[in-house]
Amino acid sequence: MSMARWSVGLEAEGDRVLTHDEILALADAVAADGGIATGIGTTRYGAQLVVVAESREEAVSKARTSFTAAAREARLPQWPVIRVAATSEEDELLGE
């Protein structure tokens, strides 16, 4: 497979409700990767990131690394990732 753009969503879950300021800090941290953040008022934080990779596995690996670094930069707890979803531009064009 050749290089493709992938949209990768990741979500981590923990034991307390996250604040507006915490998710805003995550949004700032993922913005460099074309990302958006979610999780205000929930026990989960997440991000949708755009990466370039040759395969789904490579895309998930790159996004997971960026997500972990962004969470650390935002000073969020390093909670376990409970959801990962990856879609390539090709998948989207084919309606998958």
Confidence (pTM): 0.90
Q: Give 2's pLDDT tier (boundaries 50, 70, 90).
A: confident
Contacts of 20 (CB under 8 A, 6+ apart): 40, 41
Question: 63-74: per-residue pLDDT in tens?
Answer: 999 999 999 999
pLDDT at 14: 97
- Position 96 confidence tier, pLDDT thresholds 50, 70, 90: low
The CATH number of domain 4-87 is 1.10.287:
no
